[in-house]
């Protein structure tokens, strides 16, 4: 009986996880796409090169977004994005470029790179500044991404998932309700990339 209950519990966990994964796939694969460039040739070129390296034309939107997220989590590390200093302005395109070329940056840089990549795919991805929960309690300033689909905001936070490093993503296509206490929303405002509309 104990073995039967263990198998049932494991099956339930797998089914729940699979249902969530398929919901995310359905959501991203059915989102309207409006490919958008950053408007800065130096950044748009590295975005194009990166997408050509990590995606193919036959991939679904979900697969492309996951490839972008995986790329940042698996190839980048937390630190000072010194390449952004090569540009006169400290903006989202400089931060995205620095992260995609140098593979080192802070939350701003992870988020700007993810936004530039997914906007090129066609999603309404923008950066948000607010506060996130600290592992040792309290909150700290932070920048993350949101993709808006049909009026709902979905959180994507590659820097936090890279920091957790457990091989499981806790901030990939989650609503704020699905991440209770993770973000302090009374001070949330747009960051480097604003929504399309």
Is 8 within a domain?
no
Is 13 within a domain?
no
Is 178 within a domain?
yes
Is 5 within a domain?
no
Would you place residue 188 in the very low, low, confident or very high pLDDT band (cuts 50, 70, 90)?
low
CB of 47 within 8 A of CB of 96?
yes
Compute the average pLDDT of residues 123-128.
Answer: 95
The number of folded domains in the chain is: 1
CA 163 to CA 101: how far, in whole Å?
Answer: 20
pLDDT for 61-72, tens place per residue?
999 999 999 999
pLDDT for 68-117, tens place per residue?
999 999 999 999 998 888 888 889 999 999 999 999 999 999 999 999 99
Greater model confidence, 159 or 22: 159
Q: What is the pLDDT of residue 134?
A: 87
CA 80 to CA 145: how far, in whole Å?
Answer: 19
What is the chain's mean pLDDT, rounded? 86
Indicate left, alpha or beta for 127 from its phi (over 0: left) and psi (-120 to 50: alpha): beta
CATH number of the domain encompassing residue 77: 3.10.620
Burial tier of 153 (Cβ tally within 10 Å: 0-12, 13-18, 19+): middle
Q: What is the pLDDT of residue 186?
A: 53
Structural domain including 162 reads: 31-190
CB of 125 within 8 A of CB of 114?
yes
């Amino acid at each position: 009986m104990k073995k039967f209950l263990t198998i049932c519990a494991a099956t339930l966990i797998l089914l729940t996880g699979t249902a969530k994964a398929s919901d995310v796939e359905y959501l991203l694969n059915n989102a309207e796409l409006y490919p958008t460039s950053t408007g800065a040739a130096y950044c748009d070129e590295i975005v194009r090169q990166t997408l050509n390296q990590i995606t193919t034309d036959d991939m679904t939107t979900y697969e492309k977004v996951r490839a972008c997220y995986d790329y940042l989590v698996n190839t980048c590390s937390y630190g000072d994005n010194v390449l952004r200093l090569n540009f006169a302005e400290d903006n989202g395109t400089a931060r995205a470029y620095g992260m995609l070329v140098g593979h080192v940056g802070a939350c701003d840089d992870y988020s700007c790179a993810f936004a530039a990549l997914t906007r090129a795919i066609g999603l309404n991805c923008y950066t948000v500044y607010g506060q996130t929960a600290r592992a040792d309690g309290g909150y700290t300033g932070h920048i993350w991404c949101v993709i808006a689909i049909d009026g709902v905001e979905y959180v994507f936070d590659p820097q936090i998932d890279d920091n957790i490093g457990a091989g499981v993503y806790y901030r990939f296509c989650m609503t704020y309700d699905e991440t209770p206490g993770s973000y302090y929303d009374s001070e949330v405002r747009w960051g480097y990339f604003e929504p399309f509309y």
